Amino acid sequence: MKLNITCIPGDGIGPEIVAQAKRVLDKTASVYGHEITYKDVLMGGCSIDAYGVPLTQETIDAAKSADAVLMGSIGGNTSTSPWYKLEPSKRPEAGLLGIRKALNLFANLRPAYLYPQLKKACPLKEEAASKGFDMLIMRELTGGLYFGDRFTKEIDGELTATDTLVYKESEIRRIAIKAFEVARKRRKSVISVDKANVLDSSRLWRQVVNEVAKDYPDVTLEHMLVDNCAMQLVRDPAQFDVVLTENMFGDILSDEASMITGSIGMLPSASLNDTSFGLYEPSHGSAPDIAGKDIANPIATILSAAMMLRYSFNLDKEADAIENAVQKVLEDGYRTVDLMGSSNKDEVTQVGCKAMGDLIVERITNL
């Protein structure tokens, strides 16, 4: 298969971690007989330095012409970088919002998986952590409260703020379809999270999700209220496979889910539109405090590349090969500096970013 990938290495540790993800992709392609072409483009702070804006039309065009986009992360030190003296619409993060909009990326997928080797990093009670967990939060990304009309005005002599939460049937349907499709690649269970005991938007959400479920009789569907879900995530996270939810609930729950894994450097993400196209990036930021030191953990980006193979190219075996290689490296006792606290120091070996890339590349085999 020919894979046409646009890369946005970005700022800070972005170029270091994307370089390792490319090496892993190249090894996977050579083992499984695929051909990859890459085009690197700028976005974020490096684009401000080169072109005066965080996102250029050239970058949007390069992303649109690719099968998928692999991103590092963008942004700098928000207290000291001159990028943050610019008005908000010209700062690095505006590039990210701009490209998500230009590519119509409405579905955000964030897996939260507790590696047995990193259990010590999990802040939950032993009985919850010992079972492990492997879930994926599917968050609607372009509708709801963050995109509704908002205003603040004086009513009856006092300032009154209004935010509107709007969902159209079509917006709910397309994300529900994504959730059921993704569940078919996993343990075939969807828990849809809403606040249907209070909100009209949630009642419509529940109705449309129930309709979509009829086309997926092989996938089980449950509904859960968001307040209960927030509790269940820390009480018994093993019960979740795919968690489907709207924009603001997903924003909060996906951070809660990533927190209980305890390892920010391990968490990939994907943002998809209604084709097979997607933008894949680690969940963490550009870590300017450790940029250029060859100590960043490249695994979140490498796992994002695995998600790209699974969701944009339907190459499940190849994605499994990358995920297995990561698992083996951890089993073999190698850790980047951010993971050292979750292991007994005398049982593991600390490695840098490039060495971690080497170790994963070595372990990619034809399964």
Question: By rule CB under 6 A, what string of x and - marks binding of each residue 332-351 to ligand NAD?
Answer: ------x-------------
Active-site residue flag, 146: yes
Q: How many other C-beta atoms are found inside a 10 Å radius of the C-beta of residue 82? A: 10
Tokens of residue 242, six digits: 């795919």
Q: Comparing C-alpha atoms, which of 245, 236, 239, 232 is closest to residue 205? A: 245
146 alpha-carbon distance from chain centroid: 19
Tokens of residue 255, six digits: 């951070």
Active-site residue flag, 195: yes
Q: What are phi and psi of 311, to 5 degrees?
A: -95, -30
Q: Comparing C-alpha atoms, which of 3, 190, 8 is closest to residue 100? A: 8
C-alpha separations of 363 from 296, 315, 324 in Å: 20, 18, 8
Residue of 285, 311, 315, 335 interacting with ligand NAD (CB under 6 A): 285
Helix (H), strand (E) at residue 14: helix 14-32
Tokens of residue 188, six digits: 């075939």
CB closer to ligand NAD out of 116 and 341: 341
47: contact with ligand NAD by CB under 6 A: no
Asked if 294 and 354 touch (Cβ cutoff 8 Å), the reply is yes
Judged by CB under 6 A, the stretch of 183-191, 232-240, 284-292, 321-329 that binds ligand NAD is 284-292
The catalytically annotated residue of 227, 274, 316, 332 is: 227
CB closer to ligand NAD out of 219 and 356: 356
Active-site residue flag, 178: no
Judged by CB under 6 A, the stretch of 22-30, 35-43, 122-130, 277-285 that binds ligand NAD is 277-285
8: contact with ligand NAD by CB under 6 A: no
Residue of 76, 98, 143, 357 interacting with ligand NAD (CB under 6 A): 76
* Residues from 77 through 116 that contact ligand NAD (CB under 6 A): 78, 93, 96
Asked if 201 and 165 touch (Cβ cutoff 8 Å), the reply is yes
19: contact with ligand NAD by CB under 6 A: no
Active-site residue flag, 90: no
DSSP code at position 218:
T
254: contact with ligand NAD by CB under 6 A: no
For residues 251-262, one letter each, b for 16 or more C-beta atoms within 10 angstroms of the residue's C-beta and e for the rest, the string is: bebbeebbebbb
Question: By rule CB under 6 A, what string of x and - marks binding of each residue 286-305 to ligand NAD?
Answer: xxxxx-----xx--x-----
The catalytically annotated residue of 255, 274, 316, 332 is: 255
Would you please indicate which residues are annotated as catalytic (active-site) residues? 146, 195, 227, 251, 255
Site of interaction with ligand NAD (CB under 6 A): 13, 73-76, 78, 93, 96, 264-265, 281, 284-290, 296-297, 300, 338
